[in-house]
């Protein structure tokens, strides 16, 4: 494996430029494709096979127009940016690839890889959320710092990470592309896992669009708020009845009506309650 040559380095703009001409101040090496390996912690896990085949066909005809960004690790070239090109080049049968070799640490590698994928819109919302979570947990990034590094708002970072709170079943749907990012964000508004799962299954069954999911969540929130207010009123009424009847009572609402349950302990207690209600046996 050749010794990596150091370039001048011009920051992220040079790293993620649109063509190889932008690397004029960098040293580009042609290395055996067999010596190039993907990062184990690459944010992107899902590669569309049809899109990959199209890129492979293009590479077979025109070659690789933009070098991969790599670093030397364990006597191999670890991909920092360009795994999709590497996969397509393998399919095209190439034996070597142009690479730009950088001497960077684990944190920089994770950041460059994340930024490249976000700039190219290559990540699913779940992959993006997991990558943000890892940058925060492993490298101590704050949401503010991460937002400035990837060019997103802090609110976007926070809301994307919140998706990881959804039930595992819903996360599987997202990973499989069965539930969109819009659906996922709407589901976060539901108060419990059971409601989220039911809504998620309705989405899969084709019963709810993103707009309909948002409307469902809004309606459930309004009903929950109404129930909470009503619960306070009912609780006060139950207390008044219990004081008046000297026994436990329960008011059960159902729509506009409902029922009242009054406990009694024996026959004498029942007669006492009936007398209080003006009923004589």
Contacts of 189 (CB under 8 A, 6+ apart): 214, 217, 218, 221
3-class DSSP state for residue 250?
Answer: strand
- Three-point CA angle 172, 174, 177, nearest 5°: 110
Helix (H) or strand (E) holding 44: none
Rg of the chain (C-alpha set): 31
Contact partners, residue 271, CB within 8 Å, separation at least 6 = 281
What are the CA-CA distances from residue 175 to residues 26, 129, 213, 257 (Å)? 37, 11, 19, 45
Point out the catalytic residue in the list 83, 111, 116, 127. 83
210 touches 186 (CB < 8 A): yes
Nearest alpha-carbon partner for 79 in 98, 55, 54, 60 = 98
- Asked about 26 being catalytic, the answer comes back as no
What does the H/E/C string look like for 56-113? Answer: HHHHHHHCCCCCEEEEEECCEEEEEECHHHHHHHHHHCCCEEEEEECCCCHHHHHHHH
Structure tokens at 161: 């990470």
Active site residues: 83
């Amino acid at each position: 494996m050749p010794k990596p040559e150091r370039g001048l380095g011009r920051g992220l703009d040079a790293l993620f430029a649109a063509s190889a001409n932008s690397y004029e101040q960098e040293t580009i090496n042609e290395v055996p494709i067999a010596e190039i390996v993907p990062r184990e912690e690459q944010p992107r896990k899902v590669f569309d096979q049809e899109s990959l085949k199209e890129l492979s066909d293009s590479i077979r005809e025109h070659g690789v127009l933009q070098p991969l960004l790599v670093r030397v690790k364990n006597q191999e070239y670890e991909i920092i940016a360009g795994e999709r090109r590497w996969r397509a080049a393998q399919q095209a049968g190439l034996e070597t690839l142009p690479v730009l070799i950088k001497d960077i640490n684990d944190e920089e590698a994770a950041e460059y890889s994340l930024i490249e994928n976000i700039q190219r819109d290559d990540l699913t919302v779940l992959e993006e959320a997991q990558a943000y979570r890892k940058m925060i947990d492993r490298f101590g990034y704050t949401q503010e710092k991460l937002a400035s590094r990837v060019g997103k708002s802090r609110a976007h970072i926070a809301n994307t990470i919140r998706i990881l709170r959804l039930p595992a079943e819903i996360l599987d749907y997202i990973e499989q592309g069965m539930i969109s990012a819009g659906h996922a964000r709407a589901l976060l508004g539901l108060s419990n896992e059971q409601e989220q799962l039911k809504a998620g299954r309705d989405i899969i069954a084709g019963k709810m669009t993103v707009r309909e999911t948002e409307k469902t969540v809004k309606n459930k929130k309004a009903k929950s708020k109404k129930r909470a207010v009503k619960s306070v009123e009912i609780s006060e009424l139950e207390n008044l009845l219990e004081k008046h009847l000297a026994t436990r009572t329960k008011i059960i609402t159902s729509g506009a009506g409902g029922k009242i349950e009054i406990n009694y302990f024996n026959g004498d207690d029942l007669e006492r309650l009936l007398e209080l209600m003006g009923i004589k046996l």
